[in-house]
A and B are shown apart, each in its own frame.
Chain A
Amino acid sequence: MTAETASAAPVAAAVQLKHHSRFRWQRLILHVFLIGLALVWMFPILWTLYTALRPYGDTIKDGAVSFPQHLNFDNFVTAWTVGDLPRYFFNTFVIAVPAVILTLWISSMLGFIFARFSFRANLLLLMMFTAGNLLPPQVIIVPLYRMYLALPLPIPLSDHGVLYDSYFGVILIHVIFQTGFCTFVLSNYMKTISRELTEAALVDGASIWTIYRRVILPLCRPALAALAVLEFTFIYNDFFWALILMVTGGKRPITSALNNFQGSFFTDQNVLAAMSFIVAVPTIVVYLVLSKQFVRGLTLGSTKG
């Protein structure tokens, strides 16, 4: 008996060890493959950074693919001042902050009504919002552009007395286009909140507004945070609306202002690389710092969770 167990144990251990080492080898190969692929994936961004850090003279003298002689931030300073980037970042801020707040406010109200009260119209309304959200914006741009030229907006809000070429107009179209997605996500999220909670509040005589404001909104904080991060990125990244609905280059937010930097705006490729990197950094930082919220926001809508 003792002899048997004594002989069986090493065999079992050997089998396990063999299995284990095979597993470790597979893991190692997987890691090597993934590291390689990840480096390839990051390469265009890293290359842009490398180019941006080198003086143009070095690139010309030694060729683009060469070891660095000097590395400094001169190109970044040039891009920042020549490109007038602070102004465009300011424009982005003026547009994105109110747009995100308004979008979340409106879509949380809609989501609340859709999730809690089944009007017959709910399904239809939700459908309308989602459909609008999936439509390519270019489909509606021709009449929309004409509407923006024609619809009046008081002077303090716009320079020309119309929606066209105003911050307000760009904020408005962002809110309208983003509301569909956020409503969809938020109403799904609210459906997971216990119905008894709101019904009890109703019985206690709380008004609809109070229930929305005091019961539902605080419970939705995680979803709202996730959506705020995501929506900020979406609006930061928008190129089309401000390109078409604004004529004044200096009023455009940073991503649309990229259109001004086409061709030979900057003296050389290295400054252009620095500019590209500066514009890319904010959303990358937002993602790295808040990656959990970011991914949650993106997947909330798709996995109905």
Chain B
Amino acid sequence: MLTRRDRVMMALMVGIPSVLFITFVWLPAIASIFLSFTNWRGITALTANNFVGLKNYEQLFTTYPFFWPAVWHNILWLLTFVFIATPIGIFIAVLLDREMRGTRVYQSAFFIPVVLSLAIVGFIWEQMYTSQGFINSVLGHTSSDTAIDFLGDPSINIWAVLVAAGWRHVGYVMVLYLAGLKSVDPTLREAASIDGANARQTFFRVVFPVMKPINIVVVVITVIESLRAFDIAYIINRGKNGLELLSILITNNSISEASLIGFGSAIAVVLLVISLVPIVIFLTRTMREETT
């Protein structure tokens, strides 16, 4: 039934985007791995002399002072999102998942931060954190000598940023979870309440287990968002002085005057390997569902 013309058409419909995709996503990803074994700086042509083996990685893991802080900050980001922001989002979703006046208004209030970019979230929270900002004013720290330097002090600025980023993540989780809760069969809950289960038991023993697909989506999004973190730290101080993140180290090293392409690529490879873990988990699950 499919004519020759149809087959050509289909090949074009799939082929052109695929070629573009491979060229601009997977080719650079593979090139990053290759470049991470070189000391290329992008000025002269790349030759065999640029090959330095594992030297970039060695330097990264041992002498480069910002690598481990960046790894720690990414982990902190992940832990805060998983153990604080995500449970709050789920909690709000459970509260909102009922016939109730004004539920849409509440939903909007919690969701609005999600429609903002993390860059603008950074600017909005600066109004809370600066020496003339809300928090310092409420605490009575009027002069800049006594004010708490939330964004400058390297021992606390990561926490200040995590509050702002978590603020946004809560709404994201809430809306995903709410959609999931709506799709749970209501008779399940009725059965649980007839059996005498209270609200908490119903949620943890009945609803939460059947929400497994959504739980996985939420976990994957949470992990990916923590690894992608970039904008807010870059806007505040270009990811320096307490706000180092792997994503920012890549750009700061390789797309700057220093132009340490090989070294930056080694950091990119570390981030790539970490990112592939949740991606592979997510894909194998989706594919398994697809085939059953």
Contacts and interface: CB of A to CB of B under 8 A. Distances in A.
Contact of A138 (B42, B118, B247): B247
B113 A41 contact: yes
Interface stretch (A5-13, A153-161, A238-246): A238-246
B276 to A, nearest CB: 8
Nearest to B111: A287
A147 interface: yes
A3 interface: no
A131 B230 CA distance: 19
B66 interface: no
Contacts of B115: 233, 237, 283-284, 286-287, 294
Most buried by B among A59, A140, A177, A273: A140
B90 interface: no
> Looking at chain A's contact residues, is the secondary structure mostly helix, strand, loop, or mixed?
helix
A27 interface: yes
B194 interface: no
B35 A143 contact: yes
Interface in A33-69: 33-34, 37-39, 41-42, 44-45, 47-48, 51, 59, 63-65
Given A41-B109, A136-B228, A113 B13 contact: yes
A255 B132 contact: no
Most buried by B among A269, A280, A302: A302
A223 interface: no
B254 interface: yes
Contacts, number: 270
A220 interface: no
Contacts of A128: 18, 21-22, 26
Interface string A175-212: 01101100000000000000000000011000111001
B84 interface: no
B286 to A, nearest CB: 7
B137 to A, nearest CB: 4
B188 interface: no
B24 interface: yes
Nearest to B163: A44
Contact of A42 (B9, B96, B109, B130): B109
Contacts of B86: none
A142 B128 contact: no
B123 A276 contact: yes
Interface string A262-280: 1000000100110110011
Nearest to B123: A276
Interface stretch (B55-63, B75-83, B100-108): B100-108
B250 interface: yes
B29 A139 contact: yes
A135 B9 contact: no
B247 A276 contact: no
B228 A137 contact: yes
A125 B10 CA distance: 14
Contact of B106 (A34, A110, A117): A34
Interface string B123-136: 11111101011100
B156 interface: no
A132 B92 contact: no
Interface residues of B, number: 100
B192 interface: no
B24 A44 contact: no
Contacts of B251: 138, 141, 244
Given A207-B6, A240-B230, A255-B120, A129 B21 contact: yes
Contacts of B128: 44, 47
Interface string B26-62: 1111011001000000100000000000000000000
A96 B132 CA distance: 36
A211 to B, nearest CB: 9
B152 interface: no
B7 to A, nearest CB: 8
Contact of B224 (A27, A134, A286): A134
A24 interface: no
A81 interface: no
Given A47-B127, A207-B3, 20 more contacts: A37-B110, A38-B110, A109-B14, A117-B10, A123-B290, A131-B279, A135-B272, A135-B279, A139-B272, A142-B31, A142-B264, A173-B24, A179-B21, A237-B115, A240-B231, A244-B255, A279-B120, A279-B123, A295-B179, A299-B176
Interface of A: 27, 30-31, 33-34, 37-39, 41-42, 44-45, 47-48, 51, 59, 63-65, 106, 109-110, 112-113, 117, 123, 125, 127-132, 134-147, 172-173, 176-177, 179-180, 202-203, 207-209, 212, 233, 236-240, 243-244, 255-256, 258-259, 261-262, 269, 272-273, 275-276, 279-280, 283-284, 286-288, 291, 294-295, 298-299, 302-305
28 contacts: A27-B100, A31-B101, A33-B95, A34-B102, A41-B167, A44-B124, A63-B142, A64-B132, A106-B17, A110-B13, A127-B283, A132-B21, A134-B224, A134-B278, A134-B279, A140-B29, A141-B28, A144-B24, A145-B255, A208-B2, A237-B115, A237-B116, A237-B117, A269-B127, A279-B120, A287-B111, A298-B175, A302-B179
